[in-house]
Chain A
């Protein structure tokens, strides 16, 4: 029994270390990038991959009971919610920044984007 628990703890610990490393990369990326829309790349990685790796490790350590289901619920909730939060943030940045063209190209609607892509292909 004890060996099994030790193996459980080791696997969970590896997952936790991976998650912490991803959080470290995320924190580094926020200081490395210079613009808000670039920084959101780093933030999205931590929200999805880092958090799910950490909680997966904790689920393995915890074992099988109701708490594990709740932890899985946290991951599912954040996978649903975090892209929407990023979408709202990007909208805020695009609307409030007057010099957005210096950083990236913004399409007003989908047809404009289609036209541009066709021109690029040709």
Chain B
């Protein structure tokens, strides 16, 4: 038989205090524990002078490289051992490479029935000429969805940690200017508006982005696909940014663009793949035609999924760079 406590009795128990602390309504230690700000220790002049002298002696004796033979010896041994370690590691790795089985051998342990099925039925079932894309975007599509979600999560974390709101920054700049302080940021001292780099970028950026789009769209026909193509598009955006500065890219790529593009791409991926999983699991007929293998508009959903993955990867690359350079889009 359990004993019922009254409310007053319950409020004295530790569990009540713990839950109150956990839900954040009240700090249990306020008013019960005496709190004092820590005092800074005050030393007399003699003691502080002694300490300064000790410090100087220590620096002369221990940290002076030219005076101390032991330290010199240690540094030399450290450098030699580091080089030796690298050479031994490279040697061991090269030795291991010699034991790898040659490519295309029939009796390898990797060659079991799973890749055999992929190679035999992959073209018929997925419609993709490139078997690797057919594998990662059809048979293992959930895996790829998880990977793009990992990228999205990483970008979100970077946004939480490094995002500085524009209004706050401008307010702080104004205050600093009124107090006579100049802003300290290495981005301010960068060479800006370099005409040679701008002329080069105006030719190269369209080529780079076009090549990235080609790699994304041709993912089911030739090696490549969403991940590598998205990385190329992101690299093109970063080159444009480093040539023309933040004022130009703010017109094109803002926080809103990032939000809509990456969230929309992930949602499209999820919906498209759930449709094909639903029809596949219930033995229903999928209404998406596979098309003739080798054409651009073929292989069903793989083209759409490639475009979604590419958009997410490009947004991730660009957002990472911008966050670490400036803290705002």
Residues in chain A within 8 A of chain B (CB atoms):
77, 80-81, 83-84, 87-88, 91, 95
Residue pair B200, A84 in contact (C-beta under 8 Å) = yes
Interface presence of B207 (CB below 8 A)? yes
* Contact pick for B203, options A80, A83, A87, A95, CB 8 Å: A80
Task: Give the chain A neighbours of B47 by CB distance below 8 A.
Answer: none
Residue pair B196, A84 in contact (C-beta under 8 Å) = yes
Task: Give the chain A neighbours of B196 by CB distance below 8 A.
Answer: 84, 87
What residue of chain B has the Cβ atom nearest to residue A84's Cβ?
B200
Interface presence of B56 (CB below 8 A)? no
Interface presence of B191 (CB below 8 A)? yes
Q: Summarize B's interface: helix, strand, loop or mixed.
A: helix
Residue pair A91, B200 in contact (C-beta under 8 Å) = no
Given A88-B194, A91-B194; 7 other pairs, CB 8 A cutoff: A77-B207, A80-B200, A80-B203, A80-B204, A81-B204, A84-B197, A84-B200
What residue of chain A has the Cβ atom nearest to residue B208's Cβ?
A77
Q: How many residues of chain B have a CB within 8 Å of chain A?
A: 8
Task: Give the chain A neighbours of B194 by CB distance below 8 A.
Answer: 88, 91
A75 CB → nearest B CB, Å: 13
A-B pairs with lowest CB-CB distance, top 3: A84-B200, A87-B196, A84-B197
Residues in chain B within 8 A of chain A (CB atoms):
191, 194, 196-197, 200, 203-204, 207
B120 CB → nearest A CB, Å: 28
Task: Give the chain B neighbours of A81 by CB distance below 8 A.
Answer: 200, 204
- What are 18 A-to-B residue pairs whose CB atoms are below 8 Å? A77-B204, A77-B207, A80-B200, A80-B203, A80-B204, A81-B200, A81-B204, A83-B200, A84-B196, A84-B197, A84-B200, A87-B196, A87-B197, A88-B194, A88-B197, A91-B191, A91-B194, A95-B191
A90 CB → nearest B CB, Å: 11
A18 CB → nearest B CB, Å: 28
Task: Give the chain A neighbours of B191 by CB distance below 8 A.
Answer: 91, 95
Task: Give the chain B neighbours of A83 by CB distance below 8 A.
Answer: 200
Task: Give the chain A neighbours of B197 by CB distance below 8 A.
Answer: 84, 87-88
Q: How far is the CA of A87 from the CA of B203 in the complex (A)?
A: 17
Q: How far is the CA of A77 from the CA of B239 in the complex (A)?
A: 14
B313 CB → nearest A CB, Å: 22
Q: How far is the CA of A119 from the CA of B41 in the complex (A)?
A: 69
Q: How far is the CA of A91 from the CA of B196 in the complex (A)?
A: 12
Task: Give the chain B neighbours of A87 by CB distance below 8 A.
Answer: 196-197
A79 CB → nearest B CB, Å: 11
A76 CB → nearest B CB, Å: 9
Q: How far is the CA of A12 from the CA of B196 in the complex (A)?
A: 35
What residue of chain B has the Cβ atom nearest to residue A92's Cβ?
B191
Q: Which of A77, A80, A84, A95 has the most CB of B within 10 A?
A: A84
Task: Give the chain B neighbours of A80 by CB distance below 8 A.
Answer: 200, 203-204
